[in-house]
């Protein structure tokens, strides 16, 4: 089984069977631990950064929320007027996202579960992938951008774990231990390496580093790809 498929299966298993309740709570306004509060704050900040890369008015635009999770980004995109396809590998999280969506925007959003690269989803003006590519190798991310390239008129806005000394150490130590029921390991990346991997897999475009967010244990970089 290719590395991408192996990781996809592991991520699906983790989010759909092990961590659903944790993520449901983290993405709500329910009380959480101090550590998880920093993660929540970091994710909120990152979502704002990603949304800022698109027009405030998305009326008439078709947007793919690739890895929609519990639906916070989906709701924000719909509130801006977008027609949204919200997809996640975890059917359980998609169900939570659909329940949470305000009634006023239900006609704008199509919810589904599965692989975000499925060509049957159609073409888009923008793709947002918040923390849904963070577990993949550079070549897999490059291949992902190459798959999106002919189907996206505007930008692909996504996040990766940055290649910092702290995260490289964390990543290296994590690889020494069996996975068990722990979450899949984030793979740190440098934008230059991702640009090279994207070119090698046929993606015609450039990757731009937008902004990094560091909030406790949440460390993530927003990148923008345009063909």
pLDDT tens, residue by residue, 39-51: 999 999 999 999 9
Q: What pLDDT, in 10s, does the model give residues 88-106?
A: 999 999 999 999 999 999 9
Report CA torsion sign: 92, 36, 133, 149.
positive
Number of domains the chain contains: 1
**Residue 136, domain CATH:** 3.40.50.150
Q: What is the mean pLDDT of residues 74-79?
A: 98
pLDDT of residue 170: 46
pLDDT digits (tens, 9 = 90+) for 103-162: 999 999 999 999 999 999 999 999 999 999 999 999 999 999 999 999 999 999 999 998
pTM of the model: 0.90
Q: Give tens-digit pLDDT for 49-59.
A: 999 999 999 99
- The whole-angstrom separation of Cα 188 and Cα 135 is 9
What range does the domain containing 188 cover? 3-226
Q: How far is residue 56's CA from residue 66's CA, in Å, rounded to a whole number?
A: 19
Distances (CA, A) of 24 to 29, 200, 219: 10, 37, 20
What is the full DSSP assignment across 118-172?
-GGG--EEEEEESSSSTTS-HHHHHHHHHHHGGGEEEEEEEEEEE--HHHHHHHH
Q: What are 36's two structure tokens?
A: 């998880």
Which has more pLDDT, 8 or 193?
Answer: 193
């Amino acid at each position: 089984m290719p590395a991408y498929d192996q990781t996809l299966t592991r991520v699906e298993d983790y989010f759909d069977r092990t961590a659903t309740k944790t993520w449901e709570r983290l993405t709500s306004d329910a009380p959480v631990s101090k550590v998880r509060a920093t993660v929540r704050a970091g994710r909120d900040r990152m979502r704002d950064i990603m949304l800022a890369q698109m027009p405030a008015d998305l009326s008439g635009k078709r947007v793919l929320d690739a890895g929609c999770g519990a639906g916070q980004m989906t709701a924000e995109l719909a509130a801006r007027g977008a027609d949204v396809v919200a997809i996640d590998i975890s059917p359980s999280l998609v169900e939570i996202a659909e329940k949470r969506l305000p009634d006023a925007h239900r006609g704008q959003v199509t919810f589904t579960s599965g692989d975000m690269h499925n060509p049957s989803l159609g073409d888009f003006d923008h793709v947002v992938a918040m923390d849904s590519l963070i577990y993949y190798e550079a070549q897999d991310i490059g291949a992902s951008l190459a798959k999106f390239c002919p189907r996206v008129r505007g930008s692909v806005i996504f996040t990766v774990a940055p290649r910092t000394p702290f995260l490289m150490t964390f990543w290296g130590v994590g690889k020494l231990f069996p996975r068990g029921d722990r979450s899949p390991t984030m793979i740190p990346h440098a934008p230059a390496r991702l640009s090279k991997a994207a070119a090698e897999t046929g993606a015609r475009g450039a990757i731009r580093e937008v902004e990094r967010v560091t909030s406790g244990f949440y460390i993530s970089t927003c990148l923008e790809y345009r063909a």
